[in-house]
Structure 1
């Protein structure tokens, strides 16, 4: 039994972490747009209706398959660090790490520009047609999600006392909104509307208007407001007030790059991921390691199956920690990391017992190095929200939150159309907890800079103009020159563990897309988190409570420390697919969280 059927159609399919975004994507297809128009429309809506998880000031990697060209590409919406961001700049403030909130960790907002580039190069609709859904929800209101209401309630005193522009944006007559109530963001609606007005003033051409919209954001009034905002001081995770390092000039210099994907063959398909400026290749490394095991013979969700997957994840993620970073600044040995001989050597490290040691490899004979973790503890005094501010994850934990509940979230969307185009994207950053709202704009900036190391000499060390390594990691699968599958999930570091479980359930165990989204979810906490304060538990495996007693006993016997979490609490996998054999398009969405929905026609 599944909670929902796998949806099938012939016209188009959309799946995202919010039903309103999925509906907007389908509406764009109905208006004559293609998958790229629909993805942009859904992406802009997510910026409005999931403000606790993303916004225009955030970031997004966009994986796409252009059917006309028969080619997969990635648009990098991960903005770089400011030119003034150096380890010395942070050390001069007495900091040993980049804080997880406030103005100091702000990067160039990449999400808005990435959606514009997708629309300009691959879309067909005009900007006004694509933005109308987001503008409507910002101006007229949208129902507040339970997690958003909870987060605003926890942070309400912060918004009243310190981040007052956030209070004007998210509080209703000084009080947190109720779950399901209608919340408006008129300042954000006005920002979108002014961008659109300036775009249309540039002339009648579709591409010209989109380029003018980019200029309005990155070289016009938005950049000016950001520049002025970052010159003021705001309370951050340190417990002190700091101005930011980002400037309007940093925004003006940036254009969203389009790049080749990183890919690897797997069971007759080609699996595509973003480059090592993301954690994307860790998915490919896990697949490479798992090719040496007969998972199907082990049985879905058996102790053998879960143990093997977890131990391979530990090895792949250890390599992420040692070797991944912005390839424009560092020589990432990606070919060596994905090589068969290196993979075979690493695979031999998978034993019968759970490993409690972080073991990065030595690709091409290079010596791995991971900076030592800062053991500083979160604040124990002061208001409750101060401890939440210290934690760089987007989620906000209520005081009554059980210690076993999973944390870490973002957004996801996938789209395919009848022409064979396909998109997978994971928007994030610029969430309501990350930073105070920029006055007059209706959205905060992102804090992705927290993921860079202040220790020098590491591939992910901080440097001016460098992209901090992001956890955002959508996936695209191609076979015989056609896009076959696009998927992703919220979940920070866990994205490439939860989506791996989905992908293996579909490709190895033969489940349809919806059944695959509903299989038992689990993940290892072996590797340090990418988010401040980089917590980790080497033997811990979080697993949904509906696992069998036999599986739990088998994993415990192997040395894993199981941390049961509530059923249906890990991830929100969204997926679309296309099967050339029958010409049908498919869509599925995880029931976890009660808000991800798929649409197919």
Structure 2
């Protein structure tokens, strides 16, 4: 493969890409009224029902999101977080970020965690809980941009929680993976998710009456208010300062088992909950092939996708085809470079994002891509900044096992060379947990599964949102509330001086990364995917296939995909696989063998295992709407007309 100096920035159109498979798993939906798509058919149906009854995209998205709390409890919950990107019909050229990522509590200091005998924030248990922010963010969006009353919006979720819904098989699989933990150490979780000591069967109608009562009490908090907005604000105050806040804080007081193998109590306090409010922020953007891609700020991983696109923008189209050996190799190498910068510079701090996205800087990064797979951790150089070099572990050895503080690095050098030239046993185990869903170990360790929802209405309101955290396996259930706290603090480091060091009042660097695409100054696509570190990696081939390759939304979602594991993971135990690439077998033996010849350490993940995208599309010129959803796992669906 030639270096950048022999390449030309030239858009040659769909002919440069491998032709898409004409037989998709389902059609790309088309219409003019409204479109909804999500990771669960019941959430999609609820969102579409709101549109059918006159609600707008924001009413619909909030209704669907609260349904996701109920029907995908292994992937998100009210005690978690969310991020969204949206535009309104009144300002279709202005992408706005809905910031629903809570910060670290005041008691979450590095010194406290080190004194507890930890060298990483645990992957489960209340000690890993950031301030829960998802509910407040959804209610903020509803207040400011929705039209419906809170009671009507929440009616769908209350009904499914109170009256029941058929349980997904994957929920049962997740419960089974942590059943011993529940029974031995988290009795409140066993009571909620294993009634009578039994794991409910797939399709069995399950209920969560405690969560139904929680939502009903939030609605009731605003019963005497004089306006819709005041009623929603009353519910927000009740969440942050009332019975919900008190129950959450009470729940963290008793020590309980977490992924470190030790017992700890949490540090969340009433002042932490009362002091946080969700908010709006300006989106980070980059131009790519005539489109504007909008993401969160660098307190999330979203700008890593922008960096990857800026690096790839200097290549001819034939280097960008994910279905070819050349394209897959080029994409993987660009992703490694952007993700190295994520580790070195991103966090809730002063991030030099303008420099990281600049044409000159991205050209210098592009020049590092050769015809061989890099096994090195290679962050770039920013004037006046020292890049953070995180611990590079292929196998994590906790302090209690190692007999010392700091864990084990398994013989990994900074250039990525592992002892013996192979991946550590621990990295194989954790990589396997990161494929498909649910990605959870018996200890409660979770590798980033979550949910996603997209909605567009006939007026041009469009929203992409990724709710996550507060999984049923995160921490002990709070009986009176019907949910548990999240574990987002596991994405922080306990080493001082990093851009994402655990700091009270600072947000952990989240992996939640919805996407909005604009063309000609108007929003045309909302998309996203669950998948932790893989979220942007799975969205990238969709963008390349639709923007450059001419694929339809469903063709792009159905097409085989891949991702790199050649970076420190964002989730406990924060290991990496130098040169690692995980691929779907449908990519083809010729492509896979070609990647291996180039030096990629390839893991075949099965034919239909990677990526859980959904997307909605609007043509501003014609008003035609489209929607598509992921067939993998037979769970995600789109609806519309």
Partner of 2:46: 24
Is residue 2:372 matched to residue 1:353? yes
Partner of 1:384: none
Q: Deviations over 1:436-474 (max 9, x none)?
A: 111300001000001101111111011111100000100
Would the alpha carbon gap of residues 398 and 436 (structure 1) be closer, same or farther in structure 2, given more than 3 Å must change? closer
Would the alpha carbon gap of residues 398 and 430 (structure 1) be closer, same or farther in structure 2, given more than 3 Å must change? closer
Instruction: Check conservation: 2:319, 2:330, Cα contact below 8 A.
Output: no
Would the alpha carbon gap of residues 298 and 66 (structure 1) be closer, same or farther in structure 2, given more than 3 Å must change? closer
Partner of 2:15: none
1:266 to 288, 291, 296: 288
Would the alpha carbon gap of residues 534 and 305 (structure 1) be closer, same or farther in structure 2, given more than 3 Å must change? same
Is residue 2:28 matched to residue 1:6? yes
Other structure's SS at 1:364 match:
coil
Q: Residue 373 of structure 1: CA displacement? A: 4.0
Q: Residue 160 of structure 1: CA displacement? A: 2.2
Is residue 2:438 matched to residue 1:395? yes
Instruction: Check conservation: 1:101, 1:392, Cα contact below 8 A.
Output: no
Partner of 2:397: 377
1:497 to 516, 537, 540: 537
Is residue 2:612 matched to residue 1:572? yes
Partner of 2:219: 196
Partner of 1:402: none
Would the alpha carbon gap of residues 447 and 170 (structure 1) be closer, same or farther in structure 2, given more than 3 Å must change? same
Is residue 2:130 matched to residue 1:90? no
Q: Residue 297 of structure 1: CA displacement? A: 6.4
Superposition pairs of residues 475-486 of structure 1, within 5 angstroms: 475-486=515-526
> CA-atom RMSD, angstroms?
1.8
1:249 to 265, 268, 271: 271
State TM-score, norm by structure 1.
0.94
Is residue 2:77 matched to residue 1:55? yes
Q: Residue 103 of structure 1: CA displacement? A: 1.1
Superposition pairs of residues 92-107 of structure 1, within 5 angstroms: 92-107=115-130
Partner of 1:113: 136
Q: Residue 237 of structure 1: CA displacement? A: 1.3
For 1:397 and 1:60, the matched residues in 2 are separated by 20
Instruction: Check conservation: 2:614, 2:628, Cα contact below 8 A.
Output: yes
Q: Deviations over 1:395-430 (max 9, x none)?
A: 34589xxxxxx9642100000001111000111000
- For these two proteins, the number of residue pairs brought into alignment is 583
Instruction: Check conservation: 1:107, 1:447, Cα contact below 8 A.
Output: yes
Instruction: Check conservation: 1:296, 1:508, Cα contact below 8 A.
Output: no
Q: Residue 540 of structure 1: CA displacement? A: 1.4
Other structure's SS at 2:87 match:
strand
Other structure's SS at 1:301 match:
coil
Instruction: Check conservation: 1:392, 1:434, Cα contact below 8 A.
Output: no
Is residue 2:170 matched to residue 1:147? yes
Would the alpha carbon gap of residues 342 and 121 (structure 1) be closer, same or farther in structure 2, given more than 3 Å must change? same
For 1:598 and 1:478, the matched residues in 2 are separated by 21
Partner of 1:553: 593
Other structure's SS at 1:426 match:
strand
Would the alpha carbon gap of residues 227 and 299 (structure 1) be closer, same or farther in structure 2, given more than 3 Å must change? closer
Instruction: Check conservation: 2:434, 2:447, Cα contact below 8 A.
Output: no
Gaps of 5+ in 1: 381-386, 400-405
Would the alpha carbon gap of residues 172 and 581 (structure 1) be closer, same or farther in structure 2, given more than 3 Å must change? same
Partner of 2:487: 447
Other structure's SS at 1:179 match:
coil
Instruction: Check conservation: 1:154, 1:396, Cα contact below 8 A.
Output: no
Q: Residue 266 of structure 1: CA displacement? A: 1.2
Would the alpha carbon gap of residues 220 and 132 (structure 1) be closer, same or farther in structure 2, given more than 3 Å must change? same
Q: Residue 91 of structure 1: CA displacement? A: 1.0
For 2:439 and 2:321, the matched residues in 1 are separated by 36
For 1:212 and 1:299, the matched residues in 2 are separated by 51
Partner of 1:598: 638
Partner of 1:383: none
Instruction: Check conservation: 2:166, 2:206, Cα contact below 8 A.
Output: yes
Instruction: Check conservation: 1:7, 1:586, Cα contact below 8 A.
Output: yes
Instruction: Check conservation: 1:296, 1:509, Cα contact below 8 A.
Output: no
Deviates more, 1:45-54 or 1:170-179: 170-179
Deviates more, 1:253-262 or 1:171-180: 171-180
Would the alpha carbon gap of residues 558 and 502 (structure 1) be closer, same or farther in structure 2, given more than 3 Å must change? same
Partner of 1:306: 328
Gaps of 5+ in 2: 1-22, 402-428
Partner of 2:345: 323
Partner of 2:548: 508
Would the alpha carbon gap of residues 113 and 509 (structure 1) be closer, same or farther in structure 2, given more than 3 Å must change? same
2:252 to 230, 236, 239: 230
Is residue 2:470 matched to residue 1:470? no
Partner of 1:364: 383
Instruction: Check conservation: 1:135, 1:193, Cα contact below 8 A.
Output: yes
Instruction: Check conservation: 2:105, 2:268, Cα contact below 8 A.
Output: yes
Q: Residue 300 of structure 1: CA displacement? A: 4.8
For 1:343 and 1:212, the matched residues in 2 are separated by 47
Other structure's SS at 2:329 match:
helix
Is residue 2:88 matched to residue 1:69? no
For 1:157 and 1:28, the matched residues in 2 are separated by 40
Partner of 2:449: 409
Partner of 1:278: 300
For 2:133 and 2:221, the matched residues in 1 are separated by 20
Q: Residue 367 of structure 1: CA displacement? A: 2.4
Partner of 1:334: 353
Would the alpha carbon gap of residues 336 and 300 (structure 1) be closer, same or farther in structure 2, given more than 3 Å must change? closer
State TM-score, norm by structure 2.
0.88
Deviates more, 1:152-161 or 1:219-228: 152-161
Other structure's SS at 1:363 match:
coil
Q: Deviations over 1:43-77 (max 9, x none)?
A: 11101100001000000001111121232101111
For 1:167 and 1:291, the matched residues in 2 are separated by 51
Partner of 1:403: none
Deviates more, 1:236-245 or 1:59-68: 236-245
Instruction: Check conservation: 1:392, 1:531, Cα contact below 8 A.
Output: no
Is residue 2:580 matched to residue 1:540? yes
For 1:155 and 1:552, the matched residues in 2 are separated by 35
Instruction: Check conservation: 1:62, 1:114, Cα contact below 8 A.
Output: no
Partner of 2:4: none
Other structure's SS at 2:633 match:
helix
